Structure 1
């Protein structure tokens, strides 16, 4: 059965990471093209307060061979980025060899975050050590089965976590002062108090990690 995994990758040679660290800009990969597997082309949407500085610094970034503006939407810009040969390239072509499909890839000064779908857990287990062999720091942030999918691409919540958080908020568990107890939330969810507590903690952790980076 297929699984979805969320990773954070950190390495100074990841595409545009040096520029992101200097400017505080973020980007989201819209498309990756690889006629040459060792030099992929990325189409990325960049957002931030100073895209002019980002663009200037990116042209001198050792991870970038060429950068072209495709579209300027004012508060964000779409760039075509020819990746340099000196880039660590943890995702492509390695993810294709592991039969993994990219669902979402974003990057900031804190690293590159990716959500990947793997055909099975064996493929997932083989992926991380192969990326680490390239000297890339890898953190596995979450694993979801196809039957318990991530509902929100932005916040990374499983269906059970989302329902637990919404139920707790509706009952008043997060009110000040609190108007509902953990046991009441658990009763509403039809689970034990311990299970409710774990879902809420994991849900909050996923929400904070994704919403607040």
Structure 2
């Protein structure tokens, strides 16, 4: 697999997040219907009811989506469903990702664009995807491209290097101390990533560590092919 980390300049949710930049949004899943419609499932994380209220009001006014619905709330995060419309639908790239067999590992959404971490089956698929983006006027900025080398690319305990790095930094900088000596923003700044990316990478590193140590020792080691590597 060839893994590409890049920013996608889609208008989807752009207006909402330009009005509520303090809310952190993470893509969960996309689905196509009738060969034309594209539905989104995404998580929003906010610090309180007021922020969620402002976020939902912005969603209702956002020209890129229709019928936004809050489905469930878990620990300060709400799962939403919405359907793309207008320019966001015209420039949707999920159908072509499905067509070429790409695997979406992680996506965080900001007003500046969608930060994507996607695995492609080969270089031809990578070229086809970015050609599609160029042809449909979808701006892309590639941050990193590399060949995934399976188990050999992982460090001990099944952690990737980036997962090992953030867990080690969390200990060294005092993120795990009580009280904490640094917050997620400072942890992310130390690693040169956003606080949202730091949160995702930390959670996935902890999960990988638990699954491949404690759960494996209990005979319940579970690995998910769709888990993003960092």
Q: Same fold (TM over 0.5)?
A: yes
d(CA) in 1 for partners of 2:154, 2:36: 33
Unaligned runs of 5+ in 1: 170-203
Q: CA deviation at 1:18?
A: 0.8
- Structure 1 counterpart of 2:215: none
**Which secondary structure does the structure 1 equivalent of 2:15 belong to?**
helix
Normalised TM-score (structure 2): 0.63
Please tell me whether the aligned partners of residues 13 and 111 of structure 2 are also in contact (alpha carbons under 8 angstroms): no
Please tell me whether the aligned partners of residues 91 and 138 of structure 2 are also in contact (alpha carbons under 8 angstroms): no
Q: CA deviation at 1:141?
A: 1.1
Q: Deviations over 1:55-82 (max 9, x none)?
A: 0110111001111110123622111111
d(CA) in 2 for partners of 1:115, 1:16: 18
d(CA) in 2 for partners of 1:40, 1:119: 23
Confirm whether residue 209 of structure 1 aligns to residue 193 of structure 2. yes
- Larger Rg, first or second structure (1 or 2): 1
- Structure 1 counterpart of 2:43: 45
Normalised TM-score (structure 1): 0.68
- Structure 1 counterpart of 2:27: 29
**Counterparts of 1:121-140 in structure 2 under 5 Å?**
121-140=123-142
d(CA) in 2 for partners of 1:16, 1:54: 11
Confirm whether residue 57 of structure 1 aligns to residue 58 of structure 2. yes
- Structure 1 counterpart of 2:210: none
Q: CA RMSD in A?
A: 3.3
Residue in structure 2 matching 1:20, options 17, 22, 34: 17
- Structure 1 counterpart of 2:107: 105
**Which secondary structure does the structure 2 equivalent of 1:34 belong to?**
strand
**Which secondary structure does the structure 2 equivalent of 1:86 belong to?**
helix
Confirm whether residue 86 of structure 1 aligns to residue 87 of structure 2. yes
d(CA) in 1 for partners of 2:140, 2:15: 18
Please tell me whether the aligned partners of residues 29 and 106 of structure 1 are also in contact (alpha carbons under 8 angstroms): yes
Matched residue pairs, number?
171
